[in-house]
Structure 1
Amino acid sequence: MRAHTFFRTGRLLAMAALVASCSPTYNWREYTSQDGAYTVLFPAKPSSFTRSIDLNGMRVDLTMTAAEVEGTTFAVGSGAAPDAAAAQAALPAMRQALLRNIGAADSGAAPDEKGRLAVDAGGTGNGQPVKLVGRFEARGTRFYQVIVLGKRSTVTPEQTEQFLTSFKPQ
């Protein structure tokens, strides 16, 4: 009788584990920005807001679209500059602002061959250690920041890579 109870309990635990593994924490879905400026895969249903910001003397409307999963935020910020040179100049300003927000030093990273800037930094948010990973790029007069920000333990390389590589500016 004990062996039967043991195997029955084992089967129930195995079924519970199987059901738990089927409930996705990350529910990836394709998102196209309202102005059609980009597409990206978000791990949950995103929400958007627009606000006016100052990027080193350039006043722009920046639209942030973000989704949060288990305390990790996946976000895309996009805006338009008066010309392509101003859009490119917005990239280091956005990068510096985000680094400043988490109290991380700016290493002054150089753009890659496509003119993109990257960030991979640790800092503090809400009194806890956080990790910021992302990239900043411009296409014509449009500029973008694509970032993942969360507790160091929840910013996984696989989910970060999924999000960053899915971003496609139009």
Structure 2
Amino acid sequence: MRKNKLAVTLVLAATLLAGCNPTYNWRDYSSPEAPYRVMFPAKPASHTRSVDLNGVKVEMTMTAAEVEGVMFAVGTGVAEDAAGAQAAVDAMKTAMLRNIGATVQRESASAASSGDPASARKSIDIDATGTGNGGPMQLTGHFESRGKRFYQVIVLGKAKAVPPEQSEQFMKSFTLL
């Protein structure tokens, strides 16, 4: 009887300790470069580099975290004007789809302008499947422009490795400030 209590106690202690080290360790992140907040599932890293978005060269900062082979990332940059930022949204979406030879499963888009170029907005949301890294890939993406600034919010990983609830939590946590 005493051995059973000890075994149960050890199993409970192991379960509690495992609960203290979750695979997804969500943390709030506010960008120092751009006005957004998001919850990352692990400690993110950032880097900035020049990218070519359909003939327009811009500096883009990518902040990302990877958990079990699934990438959670936010990219942002500034175009010369609102029209350039809107074009960047299309270019980023096209590049992401091309990277994995994707087929779009779902896409929705919206645009708004009040006549003031600084308030021009465009957004595109997609779910897509493709191939990469030796197998089927799944991409969930949100591409948005606000004035001259543009954003790319993605979850990308092997199709069976992307937990829908984790992807949804990341995507819904993205907020422009």
Q: TM-score, normalised by structure 2?
A: 0.84
The equivalent residue for 2:14 is 16
With 64-73 and 99-108 compared, the bigger mean Cα shift is at 99-108
1:67-117, CA deviations, whole angstroms, 9 ceiling, x for partnerless residues? 111111110000111111111111111011011111113579451366310
Q: How far 1:36 moved relative to its partner?
A: 3.7
Q: 1:110 to 1:8 in 2, by over 3 A?
A: closer
2:142 corresponds to 1:144: no
Give the share of equivalent positions with the same residue, in percent. Answer: 55
Q: Do the aligned partners of 2:88 and 2:150 also contact (CA within 8 Å) in 1?
A: yes
Q: How far 1:13 moved relative to its partner?
A: 2.5
- Of residues 49, 53, 56 in structure 2, which corresponds to 1:51? 49
Q: What is the SS of the residue equivalent to 2:14?
A: helix
With 104-113 and 132-141 compared, the bigger mean Cα shift is at 104-113
- Mapping for residues 1-170 of structure 1, pairs under 5 Å: 4-6=2-4, 8-105=6-103, 109-112=107-110, 115-170=122-177
Q: 1:107 to 1:18 in 2, by over 3 A?
A: closer
1:28-86, CA deviations, whole angstroms, 9 ceiling, x for partnerless residues? 22212222421211111111111111111111111111011111111000011111111
1:23 aligned partner, one-letter code: N
For 2:18 and 2:124, the matched residues in 1 are separated by 39
For 1:136 and 1:98, the matched residues in 2 are separated by 11
Instruction: List runs of 5+ in structure 1 lacking aligned partners.
Output: none
Q: Number of residues paired by the alignment?
A: 168
Q: Do the aligned partners of 1:79 and 1:143 also contact (CA within 8 Å) in 2?
A: yes
Q: What is the SS of the residue equivalent to 1:100?
A: helix
What is the aligned-residue RMSD (CA, Å)? 2.1
Q: How far 1:7 moved relative to its partner?
A: 5.0
For 2:58 and 2:65, the matched residues in 1 are separated by 23
For 2:41 and 2:99, the matched residues in 1 are separated by 24
Instruction: List runs of 5+ in structure 2 lacking aligned partners.
Output: 113-121
| Structure with the bigger percentage of strand | 2
Q: How far 1:131 moved relative to its partner?
A: 0.9
